[in-house]
């Protein structure tokens, strides 16, 4: 059962925003400082979604850097992250969809594995911050998605139950998070997913953000 005006929680990278170009640029800048050549955009995009420590681990594995450098590389990446906003764009239709959902009475939040400071920075840079009642970053708890704890903490911050919320994401991590939290899941098909959508648990798949308000209304009506 979903309430008539459920809260809607969104993943960030690959869902609301195409941030891979900024993350790619930051990763290659760090690799250059350590004497490694650049990786292509598709490779780095494949590392996005599980937080900075995972991304750094993938960079180390891909380039043959010393794994002992990982803690320092995480710190180095996070120092760059707040200003890594200039190549990032919202997906087409995102601002309009968020405005329509707010106008319809939904409370909105972000639950991301990106650290909270760069998450807030990029939302502010893109003039999206005002849509959201809460931003849950990947460094606010000791665990990250797909552990359901960050998503459940987001619901707690909003003051809503699982029966009064919907999760929207783009990836395998998001699908598993929604499943483990017991939330309806809408998957954006144009993000950073690697697995076929048919293989991921979801309620509705969509490719056009302009369609989301109507899809949410349909999901609510069917509950």
Q: Say how far apart CA 134 and CA 112 lie, in whole Å.
A: 11
Stretch (H or E) spanning 150: helix 149-158
On the question of a cis peptide bond just before residue 15, with omega within 30 degrees of 0, the verdict is: no
Q: Say how far apart CA 147 and CA 104 lie, in whole Å.
A: 30
DSSP 133: S
Q: Say how far apart CA 136 and CA 221 lie, in whole Å.
A: 28
Which of 218, 209, 219, 221 lies closest to 93 in space, CA to CA?
A: 209
Within 10 A of 103 (CB to CB), how many other CB atoms are there? 9
Burial (CB < 10 A; 0-12, 13-18, 19+), residue 25, is middle
Q: Say how far apart CA 1 and CA 143 lie, in whole Å.
A: 28
3-state secondary structure (DSSP) of residue 66:
coil
11 is catalytic: yes
So which residues are the catalytic ones?
Answer: 11
């Amino acid at each position: 059962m979903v309430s008539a005006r459920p809260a809607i929680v969104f993943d960030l990278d690959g869902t609301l925003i195409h941030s891979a170009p900024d993350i790619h640029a930051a990763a290659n800048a760090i690799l250059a400082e350590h004497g490694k050549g650049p990786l292509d955009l598709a490779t780095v995009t494949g590392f996005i979604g599980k937080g900075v420590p995972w991304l750094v681990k993938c960079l180390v594995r891909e380039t043959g850097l010393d794994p002992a450098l990982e803690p320092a590389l995480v710190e180095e990446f996070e120092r760059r992250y707040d200003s890594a906003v200039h190549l990032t764009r919202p997906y087409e239709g995102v601002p309009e969809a968020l405005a329509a959902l707010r106008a319809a009475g939904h409370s909105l939040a972000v639950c991301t594995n990106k650290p909270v400071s760069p998450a807030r920075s990029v939302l502010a840079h893109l003039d999206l911050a005002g849509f959201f009642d809460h931003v849950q970053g990947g460094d606010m708890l000791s665990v990250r998605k797909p552990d359901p704890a960050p998503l459940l903490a987001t619901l707690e911050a909003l003051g809503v139950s699982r029966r009064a919320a919907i999760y929207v994401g783009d990836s395998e991590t998001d699908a598993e998070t929604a499943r483990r939290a017991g939330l309806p899941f809408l998957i954006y098909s144009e993000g950073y997913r690697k697995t076929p959508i048919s293989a991921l648990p979801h309620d509705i798949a969509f490719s056009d953000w302009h369609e989301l308000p109507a899809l949410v209304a349909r999901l609510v009506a069917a509950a």
